[in-house]
Structures are given as C-alpha cells and as structure tokens.
Amino acid sequence: MIASADPRASYLAHQAEIEAALRSVLASGRYILGPQVEQFERQFATYLGVGHAIGVGSGTDALHLALRALAIGPGDCVITVSNTAVATVAAIELAGAQPVLIDVDPDTFLMDLNRLQDALKSPPGRVKAIIPVHLYGNAVDMPAVMELANRHDLRVVEDCAQAHGAMFADKKVGGFGHAAAFSFYPTKNLGGIGDGGAVVCNDAAIAQRCMLLRQYGWRERYISEVKGMNTRLDEIQAAVLAVKLGHLDKENARRRQISDVYTRSLAGTSVSAPHVPAGAFHVYHQYVVRSARREALGRRLESAGISTQILYPVPIHAQPAYKDHIAIAGGGLAVTESLARQILSLPIHPQLDDSEVARVAGVAAESADD
C-alpha cells in the first residue's frame, strides 16, 4: 500500500542523524527545557525570520498559549474557519473565548476574506482576534488579513500547523500575525517522534508571557507569577526537530515536485487539483483534490493499493460537540459543507519514490472520470 504519510520513512531517511541526536540527549541527563530546546527555538525562529520561538507540548497548546498571551479570553470572540482541524476551535475554547466560524474560498479552501469582512460588519459578539488557517500547506493572503485586523484593532494568530515553510509574498507564514502556532505532530512537514508545538512571534513581551504560561507561570522556579500550565517541548523532540529542520526546504521541494506530477496528470479531468493563489508558496502538507465522485475515486485508488484520506470529513460546526451551539457568521458555511463531500487527499510525502508518484498520478487520472 502506498501510504498517504509515512513517519517511519522520514525517520529512516535521517536515521543516523536522529539516533546520534537521541543518544546525545539520553547521555546528557537533561530531558525537559534544556539546551536542545533552546537551540531548536533559536534555529526555528531564524528559519522563519521571526524574533522568538517558544517550544510547547502540542500545536493545540501553541494556539491556546498564543491567545492567552494576547489577553484573549472569556467574553471575547475569535473568528476562524470551520474547514480546519478541530484543534483550532478547541484552542479558542481552552482560552475561554468563543469561536466564530466563517466560510472558505471555493478555490483555495482557505478563509474567504470577503466573508471575514462581512462578519466584522455584524459580529455576533465582541470580536478580539482572527485565526487564519494555512491549511494543507497553502498560504492565506496575510497582508490582506492584517490590513483588516489593523482597521478593526484585532489581534491575529496564524494557525501554521500544516504550513512549515509556506510563504506569501516571499515571506514565511508565522511572521505576519501578532503570534503564530506550529504543530510538530509526526506527519507534519516538520514532524517529531511524538507531540510538540511552538508559538512564534516578534514581540518580546508576548514571548515572555508564553514562556511563563508554558510552565506554571514560573519566572523563578516554584513561584507562579501568573496562572500557567504544563506544556513543554521536551529535549528529545527538540533534538529530532533540529535534525529535520535542516532538511525541511529540500523535503518541501520534493513535495512540490510530486504535486507538479499530480497536477499535470489531472489536467483535463473532472478532478480539480489544488489552487495556489497569486503570491502564495504552497508546501503541500496535503495534496487535496476535489471531485463530485469522491467516493468512487477513493475506492479505485484504495483498490489499486493507494491510501487516501479525507481532511476533513465532517466540518467542525456539524460535529456532535459543536452542532447547534457554535456561532456562525459571514453568510453561512455552504462552501465548507460542499467541500466536506468532495475533497480527497492523495499520498504526498518526501520519501515517495518516482515510481510510486507515477502510479498514484496514473491511477488518479484514469479513475477521475470512470
């Protein structure tokens, strides 16, 4: 079976470096918030072109801490999309704020900025922040988002969980908003061997608040200045991530190469390839096609030994935990609901070889209109 994602293959591709890094950590006796975390934080901030990176326990916690560091909490509304991982909404609620969902663009599947404007004209409550999601590795038009946010005096937290290395207007995502959150889940473009995440920002005061919040509000050990939590990136994950960061651009280039093969193969069929807006640099965490015959296409691929995924089969507003009691603004979620019935992810990861890529492309094209 050709896997949609393959963390084991990623490990094997860098096995010697990873195992050397792990041995170094194990021998050091420092396993929590030590030199490996500090080094990775510096390297990741430099890679993104931001001032600060703060390692935490997961991408969800990164969003949560970013919101709290920006003083977003009870009584505040945060606008985001329903076409995203539930973690985006879960983090808003963990901060005590209320999610407000808007629709996405039918071509890019990213936040529809016209719907954002509509939502800001008649918000359902006191909107204090926006979370644009750089979904699937594509990049939201962040200059436009920031212009709207500045006009309405709103804070912006970029959800970059699927967009390590993605860019808009030649600037890496994560450096536009007041803060941004990354996940290092094993299947991400930059993935560890367990959970992990980071908040990044350019404001030293925001970074300091995140560092306090991630460990009980401690500046001095055992003395809580603020009410914090325990969400620390551990030394082992940081060591692995530092190794993989050195290969990220090359592996993103391979993802883009694979996407080009798929896109050429699907040209002229009824299956829509991903759309990359002008100014965006897509890093293809997922290669997401759209088909009115999604189920039949998926069955043909699976029967040919090709794994597929649906991200995401049920929009957040339709899930049991949120249905009928989550705010929706900006004219409804018709596009999101349509996408949930039509999207399908083809295998895409850097360790796919050329023969596997050709097989996926060929079967997808042959099956598109069957």
Question: How much is the pLDDT for 137?
Answer: 98
Q: How far apart are CA 97 and CA 165, in angstroms?
A: 29
For the beta carbon of residue 127, count every other beta carbon within 10 angstroms: 20
Q: What is the pTM of this model?
A: 0.98
Best CA proximity match to 143, nearest among 38, 278, 249? 278
- Secondary structure of residue 275 in the 3-state scheme: coil
The one-character DSSP state at 298 is: H
Split at pLDDT 50, 70, 90, the class of 287 is: very high
pLDDT in tens, 168-195: 999 999 999 999 999 999 999 999 999 9
CB atoms closer than 10 angstroms to residue 40: 25
Can you give the pLDDT at residue 369?
A: 84
* Contacting residues for 211 by C-beta, under 8 A, at least 6 apart: 54
User: What does CATH list as the number for 7-103+110-245?
Assistant: 3.40.640.10
For residue 10, give Cα distances in angstroms to 15, 149, 192: 8, 38, 10
Sheet holding 327-328, edge to edge: 52-56, 197-201, 179-183, 155-159, 127-130, 77-81, 98-102, 327-328
Quick one: pLDDT band at residue 370, thresholds 50, 70, 90? confident
Distances in Å between the alpha carbon of 183 and those of 58, 83, 189, 199, 229?
6, 17, 10, 9, 18
Give the model confidence (pLDDT) of 210-233 as tens digits.
Answer: 999 999 999 999 999 999 999 999
Buried b (16+ CB within 10 A) or exposed e, 301-332: beebebbbbbbbeebbbbeeebeeebbbbbee
pLDDT digits (tens, 9 = 90+) for 100-148: 999 999 999 999 999 999 999 989 899 999 999 999 999 999 999 999 9
d(CA 233, CA 160): 17
Joined together, the tokens standing for residue 343 give: 């999207």
CB burial of residue 29 (10 Å; 0-12, 13-18, 19+)? exposed
Residue 278 C-alpha from the chain's centroid: 20
The per-residue pLDDT for 153 is 97
**In the chain, where does the domain assigned CATH 3.90.1150.10 lie?**
248-367
Per-residue pLDDT band at 309 (split at 50, 70, 90) = very high
To the nearest 10 degrees (0 to 180), the angle between helices 15-28 and 235-245 is: 150
DSSP 125-145: S-EEEE--B-GGG----HHHH
Chain-centroid distance, C-alpha 119? 23
Percent of the chain clearing pLDDT 90 (strictly above): 98
Give me the chain's average pLDDT, please.
97
Q: What is the CATH number of domain 248-367?
A: 3.90.1150.10
* C-alpha distance from residue 71 to each of 128, 138, 279 (Å): 9, 28, 32
Tokens 């990354």 belong to residue: 182
pLDDT digits (tens, 9 = 90+) for 5-63: 999 999 999 999 999 999 999 999 999 999 999 999 999 999 999 999 999 999 999 99
For position 301, what pLDDT does the model report? 98
